[in-house]
Amino acid sequence: MSTQGRFSNPFSAVFTGVFELFRKKETIRPLLPTDRLDGKNVLVTGANSGLGFGIAEWLVRRGAHVVLACRSDIPGAAERLQDKYPDASVEMRFVDLKDVDSIHAFAQGLLDDNVTVDILIDNAGVTPARARKTPAGLDEMFMVNYLSKFILAQQLLNAGIIPNNIRAGNARPGQIPRMIYISSDSHQDASAIDFNSFGVFENYRGPNRGVSLYSYNKLILNTFIVELAHRLQRNGIPDVAVHAICPGPVNSNIIRDAPPVAKAILKLVFALFFKKPIVAAEPVIYMAAAPELEGATGSYLHMNRPKRMDEKVYDPEVGRLLWERTAALAGSIAIAGPDSMKG
Ligand SMILES: NC(=O)c1ccc[n+]([C@@H]2O[C@H](COP(=O)([O-])OP(=O)(O)OC[C@H]3O[C@@H](n4cnc5c(N)ncnc54)[C@H](OP(=O)(O)O)[C@@H]3O)[C@@H](O)[C@H]2O)c1
């Protein structure tokens, strides 16, 4: 598996991101004051940093109750929101997305506390410059950027934490929940999913391979998103809507694991050219709040531009196979948690 040029190393990936910022194409409308989320419970993963914190800030401004699902900065991130917006309705919950037991415990905690989720924004992601193993022996980037998202989705849907008819029979009339995944347009350069090496730990070293695998994992994620959207609709009407968005270049902490010299250079480029998280988060909030998206599913935004994902992610046979293989892998590492919560 590989990427084919634009996303083959951190510098060309950054250049591509900056170039995309200045391309003119059809865009979504700006957010309006009427795009409100009062009364909605919104769960955001990785909400303590970068884009996730920007998303949480917008959600607070739009009147949502925000559940910040994080592995660090608890309760710091919530306190920062509360200080800035005294009326903010926020709570923080611990989850380490590289650890399947932690995801189970997190979902069980939501269930125990009768928390329901109207909108999921699964944002957390990593770009390690060298391979790191999870407690289950998987690659951390594969786990955090893809497999955790599959597992969390299964648990939220099967347990009815995201109300729905297809899995849990507890849908609320007139309300279609939304699941929004933060992806990356770099997936467009990744080669097809290699099922022979699916989930197999690769001991890569160096940022070039890291960037390449990042794009590849986003391709896997997008293939899952298309398949999930398909599985969560009946006769073309979504029971739960599923969307994906690439935020474009964001001045976040995503390069925290880059080697020191590259990190210093990239930090400068990020600060000069990349969007502030609060700006990059605006189209994510559009996807969460726009009434015209009611009844839609499977849409993709690249920043504020609607477009198609790479054609590979729409192959139904690949989507079906990915689902099977992922469910088997998730089941093999799911040693804790009630049966209803497993993949
Ligand atoms: N920055 C960009 O230019 C860009 C471009 C395209 C797409 N994206 C996507 O945007 C999303 C957000 O990234 P970002 O740029 O905002 O980077 P960031 O500032 O590094 O934020 C990443 C978030 O993910 C969390 N996270 C990482 N591993 C986790 C784990 N094991 N369990 C729980 N949370 C974990 C981090 O928590 P900690 O703070 O505790 O580590 C942090 O909150 C990612 O999906 C990324 O792929 C970013």
Q: Which two structure tokens, joined as six digits, stand for 315? A: 């192959």
Is residue 305 within 8 Å of 25, Cβ to Cβ?
A: yes
Split at pLDDT 50, 70, 90, the class of 342 is very low
CB of 208 closer than 6 angstroms to any ligand 1 atom:
no
Return the pLDDT at 262: 87
Per-residue pLDDT averaged across 12-24, rounded? Answer: 69
Per-domain residue ranges for the chain? 10-24+32-334
Look at residue 88 and tell me whether its pLDDT is greater than 90: yes
Look at residue 265 and tell me whether its pLDDT is greater than 60: yes
Residue of 252, 255, 279, 303 with the most ligand 1 atoms within 8 Å of its CB, for mutation: 252
**Ligand 1 center from residue 171 Cα (angstroms):** 31
Look at residue 341 and tell me whether its pLDDT is greater than 70: no
| Domain 10-24+32-334 of CATH type 2.20.28.160 | no
Split at pLDDT 50, 70, 90, the class of 338 is very low
Per-residue pLDDT averaged across 244-258, rounded? Answer: 94
Q: Which of 169-183, 241-255, 329-343 has the lowest mean pLDDT?
A: 329-343
pTM for the predicted model, two decimal places? 0.94
Q: Tell me the torsion sign for CA atoms 23, 24, 28, 31.
A: positive
Per-residue pLDDT averaged across 261-284, rounded? Answer: 94
Residue of 7, 80, 104, 123 with the most ligand 1 atoms within 8 Å of its CB, for mutation: 123
**Ligand 1 center from residue 297 Cα (angstroms):** 24
Higher-scoring residue by pLDDT: 16, 91? 91
CB of 269 closer than 6 angstroms to any ligand 1 atom:
no
**Ligand 1 center from residue 235 Cα (angstroms):** 35
Split at pLDDT 50, 70, 90, the class of 192 is very high
pLDDT cut 70: percent of the chain above it = 93
Summarised one tens digit per residue, pLDDT across range 211-227 is 999 999 999 999 999 99
Residue type, 166: I
CB of 215 closer than 6 angstroms to any ligand 1 atom:
no
Residue of 51, 246, 304 with the most ligand 1 atoms within 8 Å of its CB, for mutation: 51
Q: Which of 3-12, 148-157, 259-268 has the lowest mean pLDDT?
A: 3-12
Return the pLDDT at 15: 72
Q: Which two structure tokens, joined as six digits, stand for 180? A: 């929004």
CB of 97 closer than 6 angstroms to any ligand 1 atom:
yes
